[in-house]
Amino acid sequence: MSEELGFTLDGRRIPFQDGQTVMAAALAAGVYIPHLCFNPDFAPHGSCRVCLVKVNGRFQASCTTPAASGLTVQSETEELRNIRRGILQMLFVEGNHVCPACEKSGACQLQAVAYYVGMLNPHFSHFYPRRPVDASHAEAVIDFNRCILCELCVRASRDVDGKNIFAVQGRGIQAHLVVNTPSGKLGATHFSIHDKAAQVCPTGAILTKHQGYNVPIGQRLYDRKPINVVGDVAQLPESKGGRRHD
């Protein structure tokens, strides 16, 4: 009988199986590590850095760090909370995230994670980029102002839908989401609101057209319980507030 594999996370023993990451093992054990670009349906990306933890004293992205026996992982420390809060603040000021008018408010993973890490203000100066909304598609609208470059739509369209509709163009601070057509318009693609790519956005960047605010305040996904209890919007069935586009 082999001994169960495990590591410690904030003093708690987390079992894991070979090939699992620290993030995957923690979530499987019911322990929440905040994240945005991670989605268990896709290969880890490690780009948002919100899932930063300390592994044996070194900073690592928990979504890309393989679990290993004997690891000592810290997550819920003041130091990490401060770093995550700073990352969230930078994400908020880099785009135009106007929660008061956003249809996704209350069911937005970015907003919920910001609440979870205790972000109460943007702290940094807003960039206020000028990013036009693309509403050329009959069923969906893309608000680039809300894109956080998690590339989940890129991965979903390429790896699941087989359409390769989205891409990230530019480098560093110039990086931005584009639509893979000569016109750059979503309306010129075969995108469908039923695509996986339409269901994975952790913010309000990709939304169904001609509708909004259908769920009353008080009944929205994160109105009553925080994200560490509720889970990610993209992972929940429609009956629980997830996957609204099915």
CB distance 84 to 36 below 8 Å: no
- d(CA 191, CA 75) in angstroms, rounded, equals 38
The tokens for 125 are 């100066």
Site for another protein in 170-199 (CB under 8 A): 187
Size of the site for another protein (CB under 8 A): 22
What is the nearest approach in angstroms of another protein to the Cβ of residue 134?
A: 8
3-state SS record for 194-229: CCHHHCCCCCCCEEECCCCCCCCCCCCCCCCCCHHH
For another protein, the closer of residues 171 and 210 by Cβ is 210
The helix/strand count (H/E) of the chain reads as 5, 10
* Residue selected from 19, 30, 70, 100 as contacting another protein according to rule CB under 8 A: 100
* Residue selected from 10, 41, 94, 103 as contacting another protein according to rule CB under 8 A: 103
* Residue selected from 5, 29, 135, 178 as contacting another protein according to rule CB under 8 A: 135
The reply to whether 120 sits near another protein by the rule CB under 8 A is no
Question: Which of 45-53, 67-75, 100-108, 193-201 is the region at the interface with another protein (rule: CB under 8 A)?
Answer: 100-108
Backbone φ and ψ of 191, nearest 5°: -60, 140
For another protein, the closer of residues 72 and 219 by Cβ is 219
Backbone φ and ψ of 22, nearest 5°: -60, -45
Site for another protein in 14-73 (CB under 8 A): none
For another protein, the closer of residues 185 and 243 by Cβ is 185
* Residue selected from 162, 210, 237, 239 as contacting another protein according to rule CB under 8 A: 210
CB distance 61 to 26 below 8 Å: no
Backbone φ and ψ of 85, nearest 5°: -60, -40
Question: Which of 21-29, 149-157, 188-196, 203-211 is the region at the interface with another protein (rule: CB under 8 A)?
Answer: 203-211
| Beta-strand pair 6-9/72-74 | parallel
* Residue selected from 184, 214, 229, 246 as contacting another protein according to rule CB under 8 A: 214
The reply to whether 127 sits near another protein by the rule CB under 8 A is no
Q: CA separation (Å) from 157 to 87, 152, 167, 194, 242?
A: 26, 8, 10, 11, 19
Give the residues lining the site for another protein (CB under 8 A): 98, 100-103, 132-133, 135-136, 141, 143, 187, 209-218
